Amino acid sequence: MRFAEIIGNEALKDALVRMARSGRLGHALLLTEENGGGAFALALALAQFVNCREPQENDSCGVCGSCHKYGKLIHPDLHFVFPVSASTALSESEKKGPISDYFLPAFRELALANPYFTEQQLYDAIGIENKSGLISVNEAKRIAEKLLLRAAEGTWKTMIIYLPEKMNAEAANKLLKLLEEPPQGTLFLLISHNPERLLPTIRSRCQPIAVQPLSRAERQRAGAGENDNAEFREIAISLLEAGLAKRLIDLFPQWEMLADLGREKQREWCLYMERYLRKILLVSQGLADLADPAPEEEATLRGFAAKIRPTFYEKAFAALEEAIASIGSNVNPKLVFCDLSNRLLLAL
């Protein structure tokens, strides 16, 4: 992928090119994005640029042998790591320690068709859907093994790690060792949605790069997956309506629906709800442009903005963060969502 093919983040593209050309590119970059924000496309374009045999002023050539293989995601020095889980498509022995390599064909297909993919689109594509994806210590060992090999062709061995916050403690410690003493000629490109969940020692080893969220218009131009989820939005709206009307009984179907989703989707919904509340907050402050609502969504947001009191937001964000933590530590989901909806109702 060339930088020219990427929609949005123009200033960031320029900065990455300048860093690469002037030799100021660190051996590890931590790109943070909003889910589906295109950090993967940027990481790929950067890796293709630094490995290009005939680079142009601001971009890779797109036609040399290296670019050609990068374009198909089959360059031998380009490695991908992403959260996985035991899917039914794996063999019995593979299920015992699933790693990204087992899912590479499906991953390539997704990334080539839509480099702006969301976390959920990844899980759907590799067939683990409702399960929580993880990066295990097996995977971390594979990373170390791959990076011990000399670069087969390129200048750099590129290791793109999508959602390193999905590593368990053992895997994260192995990654930390690699970042502390990086194998020669290795470029680590980490893409995170929640950098605060990474080990501080990992964060401090990486150059932080903030990828700006795409506007609605940019998302459409990029053909990116719609990052608004109709089912999630419906639950959010019903919860707020029932809460504002103080109708406890009307909250039950919503939290039961949430309790029946898989853990990964429950977490996703909480993050969705946070974003949705942020939009209402922006609208209530007269900043509708920043909320960037879809035309059909604006009236609903304005309705909530008029009815919700200013003290609600802080309490709601705290309740949602606690719910996310409880989901992560395996608390019974019925309890989590019963508690969450009660707290939202009381705060409204």
DSSP designation for 138: H
Would you say 67 or 159 has its CB closer to Zn ion?
67
Would you say 46 or 327 has its CB closer to Zn ion?
46
Would you say 67 or 202 has its CB closer to Zn ion?
67
Would you say 3 or 123 has its CB closer to Zn ion?
3
3-class secondary structure, 159:
strand
Q: Least separation, in Å, of the C-beta of 56 and Zn ion?
A: 9
Residue 20 is a binding residue for Zn ion (CB under 5 A) = no
Residue 239 is a binding residue for Zn ion (CB under 5 A) = no
**Pick from 14, 1, 6: nearest CA to 219:** 6
Residue 199 is a binding residue for Zn ion (CB under 5 A) = no
Q: Least separation, in Å, of the C-beta of 66 and Zn ion?
A: 5
Q: Least separation, in Å, of the C-beta of 31 and Zn ion?
A: 22
Rounded to whole angstroms, what are the CA distances from 29 to 91, 179, 294, 311?
35, 10, 33, 38
345 neighbors 315 (Cβ within 8 angstroms): no
Would you say 29 or 67 has its CB closer to Zn ion?
67
Residue 347 is a binding residue for Zn ion (CB under 5 A) = no
Residue 67 is a binding residue for Zn ion (CB under 5 A) = yes
Q: How far apart are the first and last CA of the chain?
A: 47
Residue 237 is a binding residue for Zn ion (CB under 5 A) = no
Residue 87 is a binding residue for Zn ion (CB under 5 A) = no
Q: Return the structure tokens found at 168.
A: 């368990």
The full 3-state SS of 1-24, as one line of letters, equals CCHHHCCCCHHHHHHHHHHHHCCC
Which of 9, 60, 120, 254 is in the footprint of Zn ion by CB under 5 A?
60
Q: Least separation, in Å, of the C-beta of 155 and Zn ion?
A: 11
Q: Which helix (H) or strand (E) holds 29?
A: strand 28-32
Q: Least separation, in Å, of the C-beta of 52 and Zn ion?
A: 3
Q: Least separation, in Å, of the C-beta of 197 and Zn ion?
A: 36
Which of 64, 237, 244, 271 is in the footprint of Zn ion by CB under 5 A?
64
Would you say 1 or 348 has its CB closer to Zn ion?
1
Which one of the spans 67-75, 169-177, 191-199, 239-247 is the region binding Zn ion (CB under 5 A)? 67-75
DSSP designation for 247: -
Would you say 109 or 153 has its CB closer to Zn ion?
153
165 neighbors 121 (Cβ within 8 angstroms): no
Q: Least separation, in Å, of the C-beta of 13 and Zn ion?
A: 16
Instruction: Please give the Cα distance from 185 to 170 (Å, whole number).
Output: 25
Instruction: Please give the Cα distance from 196 to 165 (Å, whole number).
Output: 8
User: Considering only residues 40-59, where is the footprint of Zn ion by CB under 5 A?
Assistant: 52
Q: Least separation, in Å, of the C-beta of 53 and Zn ion?
A: 5
Residue 17 is a binding residue for Zn ion (CB under 5 A) = no
Backbone angles phi, psi at 180, to 5 degrees: -70, -40
The type of residue at 269 is W
Per rule CB under 5 A, count of chain residues that contact Zn ion = 5
DSSP designation for 135: B
Instruction: Please give the Cα distance from 239 to 255 (Å, whole number).
Output: 8
Which of 19, 26, 27, 61 is in the footprint of Zn ion by CB under 5 A?
61
Q: Least separation, in Å, of the C-beta of 159 and Zn ion?
A: 20
Residue 81 is a binding residue for Zn ion (CB under 5 A) = no
Instruction: Please give the Cα distance from 303 to 341 (Å, whole number).
Output: 20
Q: How far is CA 137 from the centre of its chain?
A: 20
Please report, as ranges, the residues that interact with Zn ion according to CB under 5 A. Answer: 52, 60-61, 64, 67
